[in-house]
Chains A and B, each alone.
Chain A
Amino acid sequence: MSTTGSGRPRLSLAAVPHGGSLLIIALLCAAGWLVKPAFLSPMNIWAVLAISSLLAVASAGQTLVIVSGNQGIDLSVGSIMTLSALIVSGMAGSSNELLPMALGTVLVLGIAIGLVNGIGMRFLGLYPLVVTLGVSFVVEGLALVYAQSRAPQMPGTLIENIGIGRFLGIPWLVVICALVAVLMTVLLRYTRFGRQLYLVGSNVRAAQAAGVPVTRVLLLTYAASGALAALSGVLLYGYVASANLSIGAPYTMMSIAAAVIGGAALSGGTGTFIGTMLGALIFSLLTNLLITLGLGPALRYAISGLVLILVLFATSRDAN
């Protein structure tokens, strides 16, 4: 992969796993530190890690779907997050006792919505882009009906703690993200499902010929994406301590961006969760840096767009 026959030996970032992302993270940190040394204070590092953990978990399901290939993309992530936050808020409210039931409900619901996505793309032959967009509208509608029948409430101490509490000095969001990272990495690397997923993503016909249960793999993938989106909705509710109908909306596009920056190819078959986590971290560092620089909104939008294109150029350009 690193030898391209151009003769001149190059110091290649591709030799280091996630070299491109790590380099950009180092550059962003250095730039932040130069502007304000407090950029690298423990307080700010934890704040950035907490928000990027939230984004990373929200992008976990998206990573699976993108790896599964076949134009795989999940545009329902944001609306599932919204629905999940609203339901946990409405069902459990400030009570900790009701929380397990609310969590169970949103996870089952997330899986069900994910299955609908999977069935739509696999059995109805619809593009994932179309079916997940359609489903996201339905989910938004459900969220609206739910919010009208049951107003969101302030969270209980458990949820409150997820958002601002720490475990052994580490914010809970970061701890949860680390757990998800272990699970995702084991799933992708060491299980039969993981191997089959990469096969299906790279070449669905070859996978089929090799006896991979393609339908089962795809349905599981979309169901897992739904469940992970539901989980991240709960985390988001903890992060802000209130829920509304547009709370999850930004996460659909950000989850795709984090996965792609992290090296998942939109054509499927490649991508890791560690990569996605680094992608999420780049996102959060960039936002934090631009705020530290104190730039006006217009300049901030333009710069973050440009930097993201540069980042993509460095991390996920197709090697051809």
Chain B
Amino acid sequence: MKIATMLAGVLALGLAVSPLGLSSAQAEGLDFLKNVKKSEKPYKIGFSNGFIGNAWRAQHVEGVEKTAAELKAAGIVSDVVIVNSTSGASGQISQINSLLAQGIDALVVNPVSAEPLMPIVQRAIDSGVLVVVADNPLPMENVLNVSLNHTQYWGIETEWLIDAIGGKGNIVAIEGLAGNTANDWRVRARDEVLAKHPDVKLLASVPGGWDQAQAREAMAGLLAAHGSDINGVLIQDVMSEGVIRAYKAAGAALPPLTGDYVLSYFKLWKSDPDLVSATVANPPGIGSDSLRIAVELLEGKELDTSKLVPNPLNPDYSNTILISQPYVVEREANTSRSWCTEETQCISLDEAMAKLDGQSDNAALDKTLSQDEVRARYFK
């Protein structure tokens, strides 16, 4: 595997040093648009997903498949080739290589990690392919990043928790994977909110790796260290049920905590009337949204540049679309919250469960934008 990585890297580097040097798009000031060119309908698009291993990613890919079928039926795309890497960055690099060999007009990629993927993405750009980066951003100037708004994700959850504990007290936090882009972004958002509330003390913040078992173990340790001093628990996705199990095993009463947005959590929440919780949905539909944005660009639609925000990894580049988190769920919908907007709806637990009716327990509360919504929100 190591040799494969090295070979792929060398190959990618070797090919990356021969730029084609198209400059027509520079005039528009948006570097990533230079590959939006005369390719004719129907387009062929590659979708490279960096990791397949949990329900969120399965739904992420499913959303892309559905949208691809719709676009195909409409005659807009000829094919969307979807590849999932099960062997990390090296697998994803070789899959993108083969996508490029098949001749695609646009590449939508959710990179497994930024650094190793940049050479191959650069190669795609150099060979004239439009690159849209879904979900996990890349610190590159000549791609369009389409990311979920993680400032909202933990910012809103932190504000809710502070309110739930009455504006003062002690909280602990279970983070995702330390060093991961989304995690670090969320942690910054949390810290910004906490800075405005000096009466709320963050006793400890530990990584749970978006893994139930690790989260349960971490919470058991936090309970030993801080016990009943903990007035609230701030938890990123996937891990809330693990935290609740740590409390149950310890026989301690549950404080207010932020939840998950999958059906199994909603059921648990519904079944326990004493559980004080809220959650912000981080929708897997971002994959489908990114595909639709790529199609609009290929069709030559003009991006509303006022919607672009600085690249979350390199603020010098203004090349990122932030998709709003679609739902904030509380037991009773509270639409007077400051964060409720048209794009971020405040809904009740029952409404959230109704949206997931008939789906499996691990299905995430999702939102995929329609082609019209994408056009209305991000294009002129």
Q: Is residue A146 contacting chain B, with contact meaning CB distance below 8 A?
A: no
Q: Is residue B141 contacting chain A, with contact meaning CB distance below 8 A?
A: no
When distances are taken between beta carbons in the complex, the residues of chain B under 8 Å from A245 are 52-54
When distances are taken between beta carbons in the complex, the residues of chain A under 8 Å from B362 are 151-153, 242, 244
Chain B 200-229, CB-CB to A under 8 Å as 1, else 0, gives 000110110001111011101111110100
Question: SS class of chain A's interface: helix, strand, loop or mixed?
Answer: helix
Among B37-45, B247-255, B369-377, the one that faces the other chain is B247-255
Q: Is the CB of A147 within 8 A of B220?
A: no
- Write the nearest CB–CB distance from A144 to chain B, whole angstroms: 7
5 sample A-B contacts, Cβ–Cβ < 8 Å, listed by A number: A39-B225, A47-B220, A164-B245, A236-B213, A250-B213
Instruction: List 11 extra interface pairs beyond A141-B86, A291-B221, CB under 8 A.
Output: A43-B250, A51-B213, A147-B58, A151-B360, A151-B361, A153-B360, A153-B362, A164-B245, A244-B54, A245-B54, A294-B204
Q: Is the CB of A284 within 8 A of B248?
A: no
- Write the nearest CB–CB distance from A231 to chain B, whole angstroms: 16
CB contacts under 8 Å to B, within A132-151, are: 137, 140-141, 144, 147-148, 151
Which 5 pairs between the two chains have the least Cβ-Cβ distance? A291-B221, A151-B360, A240-B212, A44-B224, A297-B178
Q: Is the CB of B225 within 8 A of A294?
A: yes
Q: Is the CB of A240 within 8 A of B360?
A: no
- Write the nearest CB–CB distance from B309 to chain A, whole angstroms: 27
Q: Is the CB of A171 within 8 A of B212?
A: no
- In the complex, which of the residues A39, A151, A247 contacts B224, with contact meaning CB atoms closer than 8 Å? A39
- Write the nearest CB–CB distance from B226 to chain A, whole angstroms: 8
Chain A 278-295, CB-CB to B under 8 Å as 1, else 0, gives 000000100111111010
Q: Which residues of B contact A (CB under 8 A)?
A: 52-55, 58, 86, 175, 178-179, 203-204, 206-207, 211-214, 216-218, 220-225, 227, 241-242, 245-246, 248-252, 264, 267-268, 360-363
Which of chain B's residues has its CB closest to A36's CB?
B225
Q: Is the CB of A241 within 8 A of B220?
A: no
Q: In the complex, A44→B86 CA distance in Å?
A: 37
When distances are taken between beta carbons in the complex, the residues of chain B under 8 Å from A164 are 245, 248-249
Q: Is the CB of B245 within 8 A of A44?
A: no
- Write the nearest CB–CB distance from A134 to chain B, whole angstroms: 12
CB contacts under 8 Å to B, within A153-183, are: 153-154, 163-164, 171
Q: Is the CB of B224 within 8 A of A288?
A: yes
When distances are taken between beta carbons in the complex, the residues of chain B under 8 Å from A171 are 249
When distances are taken between beta carbons in the complex, the residues of chain A under 8 Å from B361 are 151-154, 242
Q: Is the CB of B222 within 8 A of A291?
A: yes
Known contacts A147-B58, A287-B217; A38/B212 CB under 8 A: no
Which of chain B's residues has its CB closest to A248's CB?
B213
Q: Is the CB of B242 within 8 A of A240?
A: yes
Which of chain A's residues has its CB closest to B218's CB?
A291
Q: In the complex, A297→B86 CA distance in Å?
A: 26
- Write the nearest CB–CB distance from B346 to chain A, whole angstroms: 26
Q: In the complex, A221→B28 CA distance in Å?
A: 67
Q: Is residue A298 contacting chain B, with contact meaning CB distance below 8 A?
A: yes
Q: Is the CB of B221 within 8 A of A144?
A: no
- Write the nearest CB–CB distance from A145 to chain B, whole angstroms: 11
When distances are taken between beta carbons in the complex, the residues of chain A under 8 Å from B86 are 137, 140-141, 144
Q: Is residue A48 contacting chain B, with contact meaning CB distance below 8 A?
A: yes
Pick the most buried of B206, B221, B248: most chain A CB atoms within 10 A of its CB: B221
Which of chain A's residues has its CB closest to B183's CB?
A297
Q: Is residue A95 contacting chain B, with contact meaning CB distance below 8 A?
A: no
When distances are taken between beta carbons in the complex, the residues of chain B under 8 Å from A51 are 213, 216-217, 220
Q: Is the CB of B212 within 8 A of A43?
A: no
Q: Is residue A127 contacting chain B, with contact meaning CB distance below 8 A?
A: no
Q: Is the CB of A48 within 8 A of B220?
A: yes
When distances are taken between beta carbons in the complex, the residues of chain A under 8 Å from B203 are 294
When distances are taken between beta carbons in the complex, the residues of chain B under 8 Å from A54 are 213
Interface size of A by CB at 8 A reads 46
Q: In the complex, A287→B209 CA distance in Å?
A: 14
- Write the nearest CB–CB distance from B244 to chain A, whole angstroms: 9
Known contacts A144-B52, A154-B264, A294-B203; A247/B212 CB under 8 A: yes
Q: In the complex, A128→B167 CA distance in Å?
A: 57
When distances are taken between beta carbons in the complex, the residues of chain B under 8 Å from A193 are none
When distances are taken between beta carbons in the complex, the residues of chain A under 8 Å from B179 are 297
When distances are taken between beta carbons in the complex, the residues of chain B under 8 Å from A41 are 224
Which of chain B's residues has its CB closest to A289's CB?
B221
Pick the most buried of A244, A245, A292: most chain B CB atoms within 10 A of its CB: A244
- In the complex, which of the residues B58, B211, B221 contacts A246, with contact meaning CB atoms closer than 8 Å? B211
Q: In the complex, A41→B223 CA distance in Å?
A: 11
When distances are taken between beta carbons in the complex, the residues of chain A under 8 Å from B267 are 154
When distances are taken between beta carbons in the complex, the residues of chain A under 8 Å from B216 are 51, 239-240
When distances are taken between beta carbons in the complex, the residues of chain B under 8 Å from A244 are 53-55, 362
Known contacts A242-B212, A246-B53; A38/B224 CB under 8 A: yes
Which of chain B's residues has its CB closest to A54's CB?
B213
Q: Is residue A50 contacting chain B, with contact meaning CB distance below 8 A?
A: yes
Chain A 120-135, CB-CB to B under 8 Å as 1, else 0, gives 0000000000000000
Q: In the complex, A294→B363 CA distance in Å?
A: 34
Q: In the complex, A240→B215 CA distance in Å?
A: 9
- In the complex, which of the residues A36, A294, A298 contacts B178, with contact meaning CB atoms closer than 8 Å? A298
- Write the nearest CB–CB distance from B82 to chain A, whole angstroms: 13
- In the complex, which of the residues A48, A246, A288, A292 contacts B54, with contact meaning CB atoms closer than 8 Å? A246
Q: In the complex, A287→B214 CA distance in Å?
A: 10
Q: In the complex, A167→B102 CA distance in Å?
A: 60
Q: Is the CB of A151 within 8 A of B178?
A: no
Q: Is the CB of B53 within 8 A of A292?
A: no
Known contacts A47-B249, A154-B264, A240-B213; A292/B360 CB under 8 A: no
CB contacts under 8 Å to B, within A213-227, are: none
When distances are taken between beta carbons in the complex, the residues of chain B under 8 Å from A294 are 203-204, 225
Known contacts A151-B362, A154-B267, A292-B221; A47/B246 CB under 8 A: yes
Q: Is the CB of A38 within 8 A of B227?
A: yes
